[in-house]
Amino acid sequence: MDLLLTIFLLLICLLISNVVSHYTPYIPTALIQVALGVILVLIYEDITFDIETEWFLLLFIAPLLFNDGSRFPREELWRMKGPILGNAIILVLLTTVVGGYFIHWLIEEIPLAAAFALAAILSPTDPVAVNGIAQRIRIPQKVLSLVRGESLINDASGLVAFNYAVAAVVTGYFSLSEALFDFSYKFLVGGILGLTLGLLVISIRLVLRKQGINDVTFHTLLQIMTPFLIFIVTEELLHASGVIAVVVAGIVHSLVREQTETFIAEEQVLTENIWTIILFILNGVVFLLLGLSIPTSMSGVLENPNINLWLLLLYVLAVGLMILGIRFVWAYLFSLYEYHFGKMKEAAKPSLKLMLYISLTGVRGTVTMVGVLSLPFLMDNGEAFPNRALLLFLAAGTILFTLIVATIILPLLSKGQMVDGGTTEKMDLNEAQRRILLASIRKIKAEITEENEAPAYELIEEYELHFHHIQTEEDTKAQANKKYQRKTRELRLKALKLERKYVQRQYRNKKMKEEVYDAFEKSLNRREEVVADNARSTMLYLQGKLIRAWRRFRGQNSREEETRLVEFQEGLQLQLEALQAALSGLEETAKKYEPKEIIDSVISDYKQMTSRLKKPEALYDEKYELQKEELRVIVMDMGRSVIYKMYVAGEITREQAKELRRYIHNVESVTLYETNK
């Protein structure tokens, strides 16, 4: 029960972290999750989630790396094989040796072998936090590809080096030849097993399909189980690197998937959706676990009254700078070599800005924390492991240091354009999606006729809502500022004033009954209140959506609540006339109003309301839905055309084009499913 409660609390914190991240976009979600993990420990002192390194690698790292391997662009992986292997193997070993000597020199109480162990476990990078930062700022694609590529391998190399260093401390014995042989064995056999087992699983799936076993759920489950099965077989039976095996299997899986995805489209959609949920949970939980571990790792040192806290913080600062410094020097020397002697055609000339990008994106994470927590308490001779609490504190502090430094400095570096091979001339995925959505809205407006006016405006509303969800940070800030909100409120209040003026004129001219006039006044008062209160407006919008869905479920054709003033037929006609009067006034104002996007948004809302009132009986019938889906299909075809044009123009990469097409496929599959229902 305690375990289930802990998992439940972690999932709640995961949801909270994403809500907080929405309102604090300048802080990476990973850092928020670490903070929530720490808070959880402080609130529930007895909460624990002890997990051995092997189990952590199996449950978290194996599926994450399998997915990364299957999604990593193989052309990019092959093109950058030199820098990736250099960072994943040579840099790890360099960090272990140089870092070990530095830590031993800095803190003489830590034996050299233990210092090697700490430096080794600090060598693997964690790209998840960097990905979170990259969603909000522009980081050169070359840097992101390098970080993601090296993280496929350096977990394995770092853990192997760490285990040998720990064994040297515990047993007092170390053989360089044995270490090199075991290191080579784990990597080579792990790679071979990943290739073999990956092909075996794919062959099994193909044979089952030939036998008529085409159940989509079955094949999806088999694919999700693949990394776990491969990791267990590799680690437990042949004692090779399960991490390398799942990465290779993921790459093999991506090669086969490209050849068969058109034949198993339904399975692809289902698998993508399930993997999205799994990755969302795993990526979030690993940082929550990191937060849970930090207080425990630091308590042993902080409880010692003989240790100076400021001295400990200086040690953390020194170790963190050393780790990033080694990465900076290595990146500069390797870039210099690639620029002058390398085979990469687009090798960038080394620059301070690019080297800072490469070094600061080397954030340390959960593999480091889980590895250092696995340090034994006792050595073979029965003595305590030397300075175990101090090693845990230094590891936890260095992780936080790299996270915080990346959070602060990377956004500062991203301002301005780079002028080397690390340029960011390719637009990011969100920007490409925004361009597609804008083109979609324009296409819908071009297709509007008197017959399909109501479903067209509802479809525009859907696309505008999605567009606002993926706006860039700059656009979000612009629309969130007080001036923008004030202008929007002023326009909406002006439109309501025009409606009220028309209603009062009709009442004075005896063209409206008193009870109808009272209903209009009450509705206009409420709508003015809504304009002044965004939270209330949102709640009323959601309430209206739920009411319409319920009435549709019951088969009732009913007018929308926000456009239904009274049950009287004359009230319906009068409201239509009032809305049209307000719309005419807004269109006249629009001729000389700036900024255009504000008044266009208000005008679009009024057009949508008038359209619904003109044909209220069509809101929920079959013809209405058919018109809406026909428009959606037209828009999706246009979206594919926009993607092709952006790819041909070199504005997006091949992988971005595939991701955008996958997005449209998902929308299309939902549309076809709803239509068939």
Task: Please give the average per-residue pLDDT across 153-160, as a whole number.
Answer: 82
Whether 318 shows a pLDDT value over 90: the answer reads: yes
Region of 382 on the Ramachandran plot (φ > 0 left; ψ -120 to 50 alpha; else beta):
left
With a cut of 80, say whether residue 107 has pLDDT above it: yes
14 lies in some domain: yes
- Return the higher-pLDDT residue of 273 and 393: 393
pLDDT score of 11: 92
Element (H, E) at 511: none
Query: Which pair of tokens denotes residue 121?
Result: 């476990």
Of 394, 414, 434, which residue sits at a domain end? Answer: 414
Residues 102 and 245 both lie in one domain: yes
3-state SS of 370-401? HHHHCCCCECCCCCECCCHHHHHHHHHHHHHH
Confidence of residue 551 (pLDDT cuts 50, 70, 90): low
Res. 559 pLDDT band, cuts 50 70 90: very low
Q: What is the pTM of this model?
A: 0.66
Contact 266, 225 (CB under 8 A): no
Same domain assignment for residues 161 and 237: yes
Give the DSSP letter of residue 47: -
- Position 26 in a domain: yes
Answer yes or no: is pLDDT of 27 > 90.
no
In a domain, 472, yes or no: no
Query: Taking all residues of the chain, what is their mean pLDDT, rounded to a whole number?
Result: 77
| Euclidean distance between CA atoms 367 and 54, whole angstroms | 11
* Count helices and strands in the chain by DSSP H and E runs: 28, 0
Q: How many CA atoms lie within 13 A of 98 on its CB side?
A: 17
Please report the pLDDT score of residue 324 as a whole number. 93
Q: Could you tell me what percent of the chain has a pLDDT over 70?
A: 78
Query: Does the pLDDT of residue 473 top 60, yes or no?
Result: no
Q: In this predicted structure, what is the pLDDT of residue 558?
A: 41
Counting Cα atoms < 13 Å in the Cβ hemisphere of 59 gives 13
pLDDT beyond 70 at 570: no
**Where is mean pLDDT largest: 209-223, 394-408, 426-440, 521-535?**
394-408
Same domain, 51 and 170: yes
pLDDT band at 563 (very low <50, low <70, confident <90, very high): very low
Domain that holds residue 276: 2-414
pLDDT band at 465 (very low <50, low <70, confident <90, very high): low
- 349 DSSP assignment: P
Of 381, 414, 447, which residue sits at a domain end?
A: 414
Same domain, 96 and 222: yes
Asked, for residue 354, whether it belongs to a domain, the answer is yes
Residue 45 located in a structural domain:
yes
Q: Are residues 514 and 406 in the same domain?
A: no
Contacts of 439 (CB under 8 A, 6+ apart): 638, 639, 642
- pLDDT tens digits along 179-203: 888 888 888 998 999 999 999 998 8
Does one domain contain both 381 and 507? Answer: no
What secondary structure letter does DSSP report for 109? T
pLDDT higher than 50, residue 474: no
Structure tokens at 178: 């044995």
Beta bridge partner(s), residue 384: 378
Q: How many domains does the chain have?
A: 2
Q: How far apart are CA 90 and CA 96, in angstroms?
A: 10
The confidence band for 229, taking pLDDT boundaries of 50, 70 and 90, is very high
**pLDDT exceeds cutoff 70 at 383:** yes
Q: How confident is the model at residue 441 (pLDDT cuts 50, 70, 90)?
A: confident
H-helix or E-strand spanning residue 514: helix 514-531
Helix (H, G, I), strand (E, B) or coil at 429: helix
Neighbours of 212 (CB within 10 A): 7
Q: Is residue 205 part of a domain?
A: yes
Share of the chain above pLDDT 90, in %: 10
User: In angstroms, how far is the first alpha carbon of the chain from the final one?
Assistant: 41
The average pLDDT across 136-157 equals 80
pLDDT for res 53 = 74
- Tell me the pLDDT tens digit for each residue of 56-99: 888 888 888 888 888 777 777 777 788 888 888 899 999 999 99
Query: Which DSSP letter does residue 559 get?
Result: -
**What is the C-alpha R_g of the chain?**
30
Q: What is the pLDDT of residue 420?
A: 41
Q: Are 105 and 216 members of one domain?
A: yes
CA distance 268 to 661: 13
Examine the domain organization and report whether 354 and 495 are in the same domain.
Answer: no
* Of 370, 365, 266, the residue nearest 323 (C-alpha): 365
Shared domain check, 536 and 388: no
If asked whether residues 301 and 201 sit together in one domain, one would say yes
Q: Tell me the per-residue pLDDT of 625-647, one tens digit each, with 9 for 90 and over.
A: 677 777 777 877 777 788 877 77
Q: pLDDT digit string (tens) for 509-544?
A: 877 777 777 777 777 777 766 666 555 555 554 555
* Residues 581 and 489 occupy one common structural domain: yes
Domain assignment present for 629? no
Question: What whole-number distance in Å separates Cα of residue 378 and Cα of residue 521?
Answer: 80
Give the C-alpha separation, 184 to 627, whole Å.
63
Token look-up 């339904």 returns 266
* CATH number of the domain where residue 258 is located: 1.20.1530.20
Task: Give whole-number Cα distances, 69 to 243, 247, 341, 364, 617, in Å.
Answer: 11, 5, 29, 20, 53
Q: pLDDT tens digits for 419-432? A: 344 444 456 677 77
Instruction: State mean pLDDT over 411-422.
Output: 57
Q: Which of 414, 436, 458 is the last residue in one of the domains? A: 414
* Residue 240, domain member (yes or no): yes
